[in-house]
Amino acid sequence: TADALVVFMPSGKRGRFPVGTPVLSAARQLGVDLDSVCGGRGICSRCQITPGAGSFPKHGITVAEDALSEWNAVEERYRSKRGLKDGRRLGCQAQIQGDVVIDVPPESQVHRQVVRKRAETRQITMNPAVKLFYVDVREPDMHDPSGDLQRLRDALRDQWELPEVQIDLPILQKLQPALRKGDWKVTCAIHLGTNALWPRIIEVWPGFHDKPIFGLAVDLGSTTIAAHLCDLQSGDVVASSGIMNPQIRFGEDLMSRVSYSMMNANGAAEMTAAVREGMNTLFAQIVEEVGATTDQIVDAVFVCNPVMHHLFLGIDPFELGQAPFALATSSAVNLTAAELDLGLHPSARVYLLPCIAGHVGADAAAVALSEAPDKSEDLMLVVDVGTNAEILLGNRERVLACSSPTGPAFEGAQISAGQRAAPGAIERVEIDPATKEPRFQVIGCDLWSDDPGFAKATERSGITGICGSGIIEAIAEMRLAGLVDASGLIGSAVQTGTPRCFADGRTHSYMLHDGSATGGPVIAVTNPDIRAIQMAKAALYSGARLLMDKLGVDKVDRVVLAGAFGAHISPRHAMVLGMIPDAPLDRVTSAGNAAGTGARIALLNTAARELIEQTVRAIDKIETAIEPRFQEHFVNASAIPNAVEPFPVLNS
């Protein structure tokens, strides 16, 4: 038979094939990424392709109209029942008849790229742990006695090249009825995994299974638990939802939860039960949003700090409360949903990213996966700011990590008029250096306080307090306007020339907004507020500086601020305060919820799991508590911006 030249786009892979070869077989032989769940039976439509038309001088091909075979009965049936977009063909049915250029659209690629974030172009390559496989199983035969599972295994090996698959007992229990109901055709959900326990059949359906399967990416924080439900075939996030962590009733911050477990015989177990129960409520709620059920969730990835990690797994966090802060395990953890009492598909797998160190958890590992300092040419400083700051510094040669106890000031706690970031909170502040008069914006309103219409626009929320990013801007602006000295002391009305600086006990405060006449709060920046922020920012800076010492550098090329708080602080104000080391302002960026993004990457791409496990093993862990240099940096860093460090970019 004659040969035809076939070029697949976008890969550009090409080869000659005998006339009559199905497009899907040609793609397989060339290693072209073309999807198939039904194994070429014209049922799943995952193999759709578009043949080119006309001449392709670059490939030396002119595609004739009959370059692919006529529509056969299977393809016709699919088109009439389910419809096919114009120009599309089923790659498993259409056969090559002449030279042809074939386009594989993104939806037909197994390893397609999904856009990670709206504002970004970076993408995740699809390579989920669980995939669906449709197979035709040989019927049992008296002359050739073999079990149904053995024949299913043979079918998976012959039709899908899957080595010896394992099976969970509950699935084995339903295998026989499924095979008979499906007339010896079944769809298996198989966890492909990476070690000897895999691949493993985690669900079997009679016939061709058409419903989506889902995975969950969960960011288990000490305050909130956020979950993203992802379609494991398309990679899309189909729903996102969050709840407060029910453990809050045992203690606001991590250390108070660790002490609750120390003081109460059953404390750790109570907190474990509370967080799992909370998650189950969240999971039920998130599937309801898309009209699905929790047993459609077959895979889940969790990221969390070490204390949350231990409590989630039912491990007493006692050792994390005292030196040398030993983790029960720093490796990634693979479990079943049933082992964790999670209401997902009973055979769903749960993956926890590895922890970096006793204070640097799987959440920081997820940030490392998302921001990839280990792949960077530039020297990158990545800071995830919370009550603890997790700090990563490095480039492709070496990455260091530490955590620094910043405390809750950046979240508005310990601040006299402080509050969480919510409507009504002041989040942006400017102070005129000449008049010393402030103007500000509150969350939920685009207008500035001196814009006409501001009062009307904020009538509903009111002006209720100041959040973390607001207090940072306020103090930085006060410093720039000469209202605060480098040591953090607010001047008197006489010294500063404005009555807004008023005596407040033994120090002075600066009046930002006096709402008392209309029954609202007085929002002033006090000297204790500045102290609290100085402590927090000094801790953050010293952690970063310590890592710079260890690496022997005195400047960084890029700064990435991660976390919800990091997304809201203005780089310039952070630098005026000396929170972060000096760097070109346009090289200070926000990564949003990088830990959540890292969880999603690990969910959709199993190769990323192996990658982050290796990366974490290679990260140098620095324990700030035992480093004398940390204390030294801390003392100098409490000044604004710093007593000893120069900030050349900032001052230029």
For ligand FES, the binding residues (CB under 6 A) are 24, 36, 38, 40-47, 90-92
Position closest to ligand FES via CB? 92
CA distances from 210 to 105, 206, 289, 604, 619 (A): 21, 11, 19, 20, 43
The backbone region for 444, taken as left when phi is positive above 0, alpha when psi lies in -120 to 50, beta otherwise, is left
DSSP character at residue 11 = T
Q: Which residue bears the tokens 């499924």?
A: 178
Residue 331 structure tokens: 């490796």
Q: How far is the CB of 430 from ligand FES (least distance, A)?
A: 60
Q: How far is the CB of 45 from ligand FES (least distance, A)?
A: 5
Q: How far is the CB of 75 from ligand FES (least distance, A)?
A: 9
CA distances from 561 to 70, 106, 246, 359, 568 (A): 57, 32, 27, 19, 9
CA distances from 2 to 19, 323, 330 (A): 6, 75, 59
Residue closer to ligand FES, measured from CB, 76 or 378: 76
Residue from 436, 409, 412 nearest 424 by CA: 412
Q: How far is the CB of 161 from ligand FES (least distance, A)?
A: 15
DSSP secondary structure of 520-584: --EEEE-HHHHHHHHHHHHHHHHHHHHHHHHHT-S--SEEEEEHHHHHHS-HHHHHHHTSS----
Provide the Cα torsion 222, 224, 229, 230; round to 10°: -60
Three-state SS string over 31-77 comes to CCCCCCCCCCCCCCCCCEEEECCEEEHHHCEEECCCCECCCCHHHHH
Q: How far is the CB of 292 from ligand FES (least distance, A)?
A: 23
Residue from 342, 37, 45, 48 nearest 189 by CA: 37
Residue closer to ligand FES, measured from CB, 42 or 405: 42
| Cα atoms in the 13 Å half-sphere on the side-chain side of 26 | 31
Q: How far is the CB of 78 from ligand FES (least distance, A)?
A: 7
Residue closer to ligand FES, measured from CB, 78 or 541: 78
Q: How far is the CB of 50 from ligand FES (least distance, A)?
A: 14
Residue closer to ligand FES, measured from CB, 45 or 464: 45
Residue closer to ligand FES, measured from CB, 37 or 547: 37
164-189 as b/e, with b when 16 or more CB fall inside 10 Å?
ebbbbeebeeebeebbeebebbbbbb
Residue closer to ligand FES, measured from CB, 36 or 534: 36
Residue closer to ligand FES, measured from CB, 49 or 580: 49
Three-state SS string over 313-335 comes to HCCCHHHHHCCCCCCCCCCCEEE
Residue closer to ligand FES, measured from CB, 47 or 544: 47
Q: How far is the CB of 297 from ligand FES (least distance, A)?
A: 24
Q: How far is the CB of 49 from ligand FES (least distance, A)?
A: 10
- Determine the length of the chain: 652
Residue closer to ligand FES, measured from CB, 133 or 634: 133
Helix (H, G, I), strand (E, B) or coil at 81: helix
DSSP character at residue 355 = P
Helix (H) / strand (E) element for 381: namely strand 380-385
Residue closer to ligand FES, measured from CB, 93 or 590: 93
- 440 touches 285 (CB < 8 A): no
Residue closer to ligand FES, measured from CB, 6 or 308: 6
Residue from 607, 615, 599 nearest 304 by CA: 599
Helices (H) and strands (E) in the chain, counts: 18, 31
Residue closer to ligand FES, measured from CB, 160 or 325: 160
Q: How far is the CB of 34 from ligand FES (least distance, A)?
A: 8
Q: How far is the CB of 98 from ligand FES (least distance, A)?
A: 21
Residue closer to ligand FES, measured from CB, 37 or 544: 37
Give CA–CA dist 198/175, Å, rounded: 18
Chain-centroid distance of CA 605 in Å reads 12
Contacts of 80 (CB under 8 A, 6+ apart): none
Q: How far is the CB of 39 from ligand FES (least distance, A)?
A: 6
Phi first, then psi: give them for residue 608, nearest 5 degrees: -65, -30
Q: How far is the CB of 37 from ligand FES (least distance, A)?
A: 6
Residue closer to ligand FES, measured from CB, 45 or 50: 45
- 88 touches 102 (CB < 8 A): no
Q: How far is the CB of 388 from ligand FES (least distance, A)?
A: 49
